[in-house]
Structure 1
Amino acid sequence: MQLTVLGRYGAYPAAGGACSGYLLQDGDTNLLLDCGSGIVSRLQNFCSWTNLSAIVITHFHADHYLDLYPLRYALQLSKFNKRKDKLLVLVPPGGDIELTRIFSNEESKKSFADPFLFREIGSEEERIGSLQLNFLQVNHPVPTYAVKVRNNNCQLVYTSDTSFHGQLIDFSKGSSLLLAESTLRNEDEDRSELTGHLTAGQAGELASIAGVKKLMLTHFWPEFSLEQYAKEAGETYGKEVIIAEEGESYWID
């Protein structure tokens, strides 16, 4: 399974960057985790939207879903990259109604939803091509889901946006890669529960307790030092920490 980081910033991107978006590829399966601002542009360097197997939107904060709007136009209006079937989008409960409300007026409701097949995230396992997906609701101001993605050889867990809690430890245990948000620095820990975000140190602690093989940090605040994030996470993880690099692909085994 291969992970390509399309965007790594929370709230708003740094110059030349993009918000949350991660492409997982396994054989002919192409799964997009989140679709924040800038992701549709980056996606086309690695995979055509016509070849996407599905999208997971982990929650309804704009840095995780905003590029569904230009993707809608690409799916509807492209003359040369036609898609024959609707694109499956897994969303938190009520997500199809929420997205239609955000992006549509009374006249355009049908046209926004037309290229997508919305399905609510639930407790049951989802099968997307060769990949198996499980979900865990995490701690954030709006309903938000961590995602576990497995094939026959490896397992990735993406925390999405969350503060630290015990269920996430069990959910992440034994993962080949933990893709963990680390919006906050250790000095910001008093804001963790209120904002629903991990500090870098908490991300490292989560990875250590869960016994994951590798830890990759993402969802950075654009004004904070990446070196500081890596240092603080490494102190609690006890191993080398990977900083998500936009445009880079990583083999997971």
Structure 2
Amino acid sequence: MTGRENPWPLRGVIGHARSMTRSFDELISEAATADVTGWGFAWLTGRATEQRAPWGYTRLVAERAVGATALLDVETGGGEVLAGIPGLPARTVATEYWPPNLAVARRTLHPLGVEVVDGDPQQLPFEDETFDLVISRHPVALPWGEAARVLRPGGTLLSQGIGSDSMLELAEAVAGPRPPSTTSRAEGNAEAARAAGLTVTDLRTAALRAEFFDIGAVVYFLRKVVWTVPDFSIETHRAPLAELHQRIRTEGSFVAHAQRFLIEAHKPV
């Protein structure tokens, strides 16, 4: 997730040199059996890179956690963000709904005194006005009404999301052309926040260069970030994967762009 906003360490050239000696079948077989639970990307060390979001999400969370007495992390993944925040509030709680990630999050966060709960992703199991800081990184669909309900007056909600057409170049290379989105996920989330009664104070977007140095890195990424190609499988996409493998061998890497947005909102007093 390394910091979660820079999950892919910058050692791509080394990874590329190593992958040049390995066959297509060797690379995809290795990636097919790699553990993709949690929301860490250490497996891609030396095999792929991604730029940091310019705002530094983890740093922003740490700054806003100072002075907070109760913090909620919605869809914590494997707990990577909270594990990197020093001096967590006395009450810090996380939610996670995907069973493999839930197990990872509990192993990571319970030693830090953080409770991890599951349940309905659209109905937070907390009383009204419980938290003065609510955060969420890359949620599937942040329940804005519920987040606003559990936020105390004057409290802050900070979220980093996946923008429209994220990794479009990679999706098209593997699954063929698709029409670009006609709506902005950033603006849609801002509208949802306002509809929930929150005041949006910051909304930013960024396109982040991602570079893959071998086809194994591509397969691992598509297995982990499942919304990139929702029906992805090695068997059904073997032919385009083989083409992409040859392209990486010829050109040295494959470049795509991750789309991110940051939204900060406050609950009126």
TM-score by length of 1: 0.38
| TM-score for both structures, normalised by structure 2 | 0.37
Point out the structure with the larger helix share: 2
